[in-house]
Amino acid sequence: MLSPVAASVNDVTETPEQKTPQEQLDYYHSRREMAVVQPQGSLALVNTQWIDSEQPVWGVPGVWAPAEGGLTVTAAAADGIYVDGELVDGSTFVRGKDSAEPSAIVFNDTTSGFVIAGDDGHYGLRVFDGNSEAIQEFGGISIFDYDPEWVITGTFTENPAGTTLGFEQLKSDGQTKEKVIPGEITFTKDGVDYNLAAFKAGRALQLVFADATNGDSTYSVGRFLFLAPNPDGTITLDFNRAVLPPCAFSYAFNCPLPPKQNRFSVAIEAGEKNVLAKSGALLHG
């Protein structure tokens, strides 16, 4: 028999399975809005600068230069730069995000950064301001109500190892970057067959897609959906979990654009719509 205390806890505790799909989406959405305003959230990014020679970086002190596996920064103690908890007074090596132990950079109470690796072997510095103008003006992320019609079961078929597809990026001037495509995603909806390409993103797959809502009720560039194949070869595409790309939050991001096969001619009225200011207008209109 349950004790009175245990019984009362069970009476008020609601497991995720007991929540409605809309309630689950609302919780997911609230976590998303919290994440983008974190000190290194998407709205905090104020600069991404690639370093191919010794140079200053806009908005922060120090002189930055390329180095094997990252960057070096040269600064005086008065500049107040800390790398991995140590005050920089002279030159210090800053490990990139591709390192097993990437370096953490602190410039002041609200400004921080880290070094990112590019596909061409160059490294860049990302600078975050936890009190950025975008964070101060942020009003929320608009989103469609939950729609079960946009929860789709498809088939995931593995590609031969090393299969790639060229993705154009927002700031690439038409140049493409090859990304590994682990498999193809196929499904049929409303009599139309789809064959989509998603690239590997950590332990998940990242689908970059566009649809007829873009530039109307949703962000013009497109949206992302993160997926994981099921053991039985199926894959669930819940477009209610579609999210805005980082470039919707900060111009300092360079996001991949949807390839041709990921461009839907229909309106997918599910998932996130736009980043809004407190006034209700588009934050980056």
| Residue 14 pLDDT greater than 60, yes or no | no
Quick one: pLDDT band at residue 8, thresholds 50, 70, 90? very low
Are residues 116 and 142 located together in one domain of the fold? no
- 269 is a domain residue: yes
Q: Is 175 within a domain?
A: yes
Nearest to 219 by CA among 175, 178, 176, 268: 268
One domain, residues 142 and 117: no
- Nearest C-alpha neighbor of 107 from the set 51, 46, 42: 46
The per-residue pLDDT for range 22-39, each reduced to its tens digit, is: 999 999 999 999 999 999
What's the pLDDT tens digit per position in 249-278? 999 999 999 999 999 999 999 999 999 999
| 180-200 pLDDT per residue, tens | 999 999 999 999 999 999 999
Which of the two residues, 2 and 196, has the higher pLDDT score? 196
Q: Are residues 104 and 201 in the same domain?
A: no
Q: pLDDT: is 176 or 45 the higher one?
A: 45
In this structure, the answer to whether residues 144 and 122 fall within a common structural domain is no
Where does a domain end: 98, 129, 160? 129
What pLDDT was estimated at residue 216?
96
Domain assignment of residue 269, given as a range: 138-277
Q: Is the domain of 88 the same as that of 150?
A: no
Phi-psi category of residue 12: left, alpha or beta, with phi > 0 → left and psi -120 to 50 → alpha? alpha
Regarding whether 251 and 167 lie in a shared domain, the answer is: yes
Nearest partner of 111 among 129, 136, 132, judged by Cα = 129
Q: Quote helix, strand, coil % in the chain, to nearest 5.
A: 20, 45, 40
Number of domains in the chain: 2
User: So what's the pLDDT on residue 121?
Assistant: 87
Q: Which of 96, 100, 131, 129 is nearest to 114 (CA)?
A: 96
Residue-wise pLDDT for 46-60, tens only, equals: 999 999 999 999 999
Q: Which of 72, 103, 129 is the last residue of a domain?
A: 129
Q: Which of 82, 107, 129 is the last residue of a domain?
A: 129
Say if residues 72 and 92 touch (Cβ distance below 8 Å): yes
Average pLDDT, the chain: 93
Q: Residue 177: pLDDT above 70?
A: yes
Confidence of residue 175 (pLDDT cuts 50, 70, 90): confident
Q: Looking at 84-93, 111-120, 133-142, 270-279, which range is the least confident one?
A: 111-120
Say if 77 falls within a structural domain: yes
pLDDT confidence bin for 16, thresholds 50/70/90? low
pLDDT of residue 109: 97
Q: Is residue 221 part of a domain?
A: yes
Assess whether pLDDT exceeds 70 at residue 156.
yes
pLDDT confidence of 44, banded at 50, 70, 90?
very high
Q: Name the pTM for this structure.
A: 0.89
Question: What contacts 130, CB < 8 A, 6 or more positions away?
Answer: 38, 39, 40, 44, 110, 111, 112
- Answer yes or no: do 117 and 159 share one domain: no
Question: Is 226 inside any structural domain?
Answer: yes
User: Which token pair is 253?
Assistant: 């991001």
223 part of a folded domain: yes
pLDDT for position 125: 98
Q: Are residues 200 and 123 in the same domain?
A: no
| Sequence-separated contacts (24+) of 143-148 with Cβ below 8 Å | 143/25, 143/29, 143/271, 143/272, 143/273, 144/240, 144/269, 144/270, 144/271, 144/273, 145/22, 146/21, 146/22, 146/25, 146/240, 146/270, 147/239, 147/240, 147/269, 147/270, 148/21
> What does the pLDDT read at residue 257?
95
Please indicate, yes or no, if residue 254 is contained in any of the structural domains: yes
